[in-house]
Structure 1
């Protein structure tokens, strides 16, 4: 499915990170040593970014502030002009020790301070409430008076587990994670503010968190004796509007399935010659025993006819992708007659909220709602958006994966029809024989890779046309 998982791919909650650090301490590594590892590792990255120009390090009262003092001392040792702004005295022993070792300029406020790089070490991953007006103003002032901003562990104002923005943020040039990735680096509104992501290792072992930054997917070519049916027959079920399902079918034809058929009430215009169209009654079309997977939802509609088409599809209990209108029609009774462990749903945030309301799921952020929906229903969930995550159950290198997170895909994906392309790719991977979680992960990778290959300002048709090139890139 993907490259091998590495220890550095795990994503931890704040509580898991604290427990991992405590395990290191219990094994004989001091807090001061961990701070030196983290601070000097981050300092190396800041040093390269500063390139000899003026740096300001904002240090808070906790251990994130202590990391900041270590960063500042490393820069001072290397001759970089650096100043620490410390509005609050250190409150932990490790932070006080780090401050005692810092020997360069220091200020209590940011008044009149400017430079090339602002390093935010105010609170990091421990923040759970809004900043005071005074501290928020200090961060904003330093942000605006420097050419670039770098966050250490997390930007001040981002909650680590949910990725929620507790305060107004600008976009950082880079964020340096310490010890392990946190959920906010890849999910939630704060993930869009992180800039380039770096990870500094401090010796944190594998925790078995179930959440991982997914390695690059690997998709093998068909076996030498393959033919169109062994590669998988995918049925794309249309409804009121033929454009969206035809777009999904175009993507699916390029994502590995050997045969894609469009089941539609009427023959649409502009059908590619390579796409087979079936206009029979849906119950008749679905009698084909060679069908391996289904896609239903794009252009389906929300009326009674659409509901009946969805019911017929789910009654087959085949691997199925549900997208768009199908996500608003799906209910508990329909799912009872299906095999939810064979289903992949692809909701954006509004569709996810609707599904959670239908199935009685709550959560404080998109990621937790998606995880809750998966746990409540058994369906694999692609919670799509700028911070796409995949929820289900996969296995790689002996590790159980419950949540897959991804580095940001190109923002040009924010175009009408992009979701139809993603649904077509996921359904094609299901038809090819992949398990739902694996098909979902591969679809996210192919979607992002196709966007990178397409370039800027593309249409969804352009994106679909690049899926086969994305397949080649992931071999």
Structure 2
């Protein structure tokens, strides 16, 4: 089964290629598949203008020779700069099949520079020599394209291995996505990313890229409780809880209820009750409740702690966000946690976890320690489960960087948890819908606009 949605480490990618070769393919064939697939994108971008391919000594350089020859065969204007002589058998063979010009580094100027210097194989600092070569060439070309991974990025954790890198118009992943394609700061180095399929099958233990979920309309005999009752536990700041409640309603929940200290005036679609801290456990004992959301606007005082403890003790499916994450001091098996970077660091400290690893490893460790599914939020949102599953979100619009969008996500998570009863599925659906809602909301939106955009995002998945 082909697996274009998988996200692999470098080691996993090597294993995937080895399995292809065990099945009869050789390195040369795989290089031809990858290079000619990448050449399709380069050809379109160049639109007949001159192309320079920077080739390194390894197999990424070999891909570059294949790309250059494919463009030459089509009548394109192409030249190769060889940073070093090919150093692998596959790269040497690819270089021998290239019939075009090989020029010195000081000569080329053109429309497109293709970076095939190191790709995903680099895990140490880019030398000053190669960094200067890459940047000097990039400065003389109008557009830069990376093949597999920009040279100077760690493919497994997304860290930069050079003081300066060009900005890339496109990053072309080969065979499978790598983790850095969905991690900061790497993601900020390009405008778009595309995948070339070389026939790689699903690799055991690989992460996945979230895709558009398939969401069904309610059953013909559905009613509000069967569709899912989401109860939002409010606290000191009612606005955040109201945003989460609105998002939950648009996210597919059949019934949304707000239990606040002082419910005040609520919109007509929302059932809001003023519930004191002492009465909250009885209110949460309602067996019709599918999911409890606690955290948005909760506060951090003793009253907030009492409300969190009531939610944790309710025995219901639970989503913990915002202030609830700051106050959480015990594992929460079966729950969904939605920390941003600061909350993730605070939780790591509380549970005695290291904070110096990559984001995927940190989220996975927290999921294991708490027994919860963890949505590690940010421009590079990812999801980790206690059993080791890992999913990466596709890039979402940067307009999400506004107050209140986390409350909208929390409400979405609660709604999907109430509908699906599956923490992993709910987290994936909610994160994807959140990004789609941001695309639908357009530019310069506020959190209320985002909550309204949840509905068309959901409709797009039916």
> What is the TM-score when the length of structure 1 is the normalising length?
0.92
| Aligned partner (choices 336, 350, 372) of residue 342 of structure 2 | 350
Structure-2 residue corresponding to 1:73? 69
Q: 1:398 corresponds to which residue?
A: none
Pairwise CA distance, 1:24: 2.7
Tell me the SS of whatever aligns to 2:383: strand
TM-align CA RMSD? 1.8
Q: Residue 124 of structure 1 aligns with which residue?
A: 119
SS state at 1:90 partner? coil
CA distance in 2, matches of 1:63, 1:243: 55
Q: Given that residues 2 and 201 in structure 2 are in contact (C-alpha distance below 8 angstroms), is that contact kept between their aligned partners in structure 1?
A: no
Question: 2:212 is matched with which residue: 213, 216, 226?
Answer: 216
Report if aligned partners of 1:349, 1:366 keep a CA contact under 8 Å in 2: no
Select between 86-95 and 439-448 the one with higher mean Cα deviation: 86-95
Further displaced range: 431-440 or 420-429: 431-440
What pairs with 1:92-171 in structure 2 (closer than 5 Å)?
92-109=88-105, 111-167=106-162, 168-171=164-167
Q: Does 2:270 align with 1:272?
A: no
SS of 1:165's partner is: coil
Secondary structure in structure 2 of the residue aligned to 1:466: helix
**Alignment match of 2:358 (pick from 338, 357, 365):** 365
- Bigger Cα displacement from structure 2, 65-74 vs 85-94: 85-94
Maintained 8 Å contact 1:58/1:118: yes
Partner secondary structure for residue 18 of structure 1: helix
Are 2:384 and 1:391 aligned? yes
Aligned to 2:311: 313
Counterpart Cα distance in 2 of 1:322 and 1:143: 46
Give the drift of 1:6.
Answer: 5.0
Q: How does 1:42-61 map to 2 (within 5 A)?
A: 42-61=38-57
> Could you tell me how far 1:153 is from its partner in structure 2?
0.4
Give per-residue Cα distances to partners, 1:350-398, cap 9 Å, x unaligned: 211211222222352112101111122220011111111112279xxxx
Question: Contact (CA 8 Å) 1:393, 1:437: kept in 2 or not?
Answer: no
Question: 1:227: which partner in 2?
Answer: 223
Give me the TM-score of the superposition, normalised by structure 2.
0.95
Residue 247 and residue 170 in structure 1: after superposition, are their counterparts in 2 closer, same or farther (change >3 A)? farther
Post-superposition CA distance 1:98-150 (Å, at most 9, x none) = 112222222342x3532111111111111101111221122222223222111
Partner of 2:446: 459
Mean alpha-carbon deviation: is it higher for 88-97 or for 260-269? 260-269
> In the alignment, is the contact (CA less than 8 A) between 1:10 and 1:209 conserved in 2?
no
Structure 1 contact 242–268 (Cα < 8 Å) conserved: no
The one-character-per-residue Cα deviations of 1:168-223 (angstroms, maximum 9, x if unpaired) are 33432111111111111122321232432222222322222341112210111111
Partner of 1:263: 259
Q: Helix, strand or coil for the counterpart of 1:154? A: coil
Which ranges in structure 1 are unaligned for 5 or more consecutive residues? 395-400
| Aligned with residue 179 of structure 2, among 160, 183, 186 | 183
Give the equivalent residue in structure 1 for 2:87.
91
Render the CA deviation track for 1:446-470: whole Å, top value 9, x for unaligned. 1111112111111100010111121
TM-aligned CA distance change 1:25 to 1:430, over 3 Å: closer
**1:220-266 CA deviation, whole Å, 9 max, x = no partner?**
11111111111111111111111111111111111111111111111
Q: Which residue of 2 aligns with 1:236?
A: 232
**Alpha-carbon contact 1:387-1:406 (below 8 Å) kept:** yes
Moved more, 21-30 or 213-222: 21-30
Residue in 2 that maps onto 1:431: 418
* Aligned length, in residue pairs: 457
**Counterpart contact for 1:213–1:405, Cα < 8 Å:** yes
**Paired position in structure 2 for 1:441:** 428
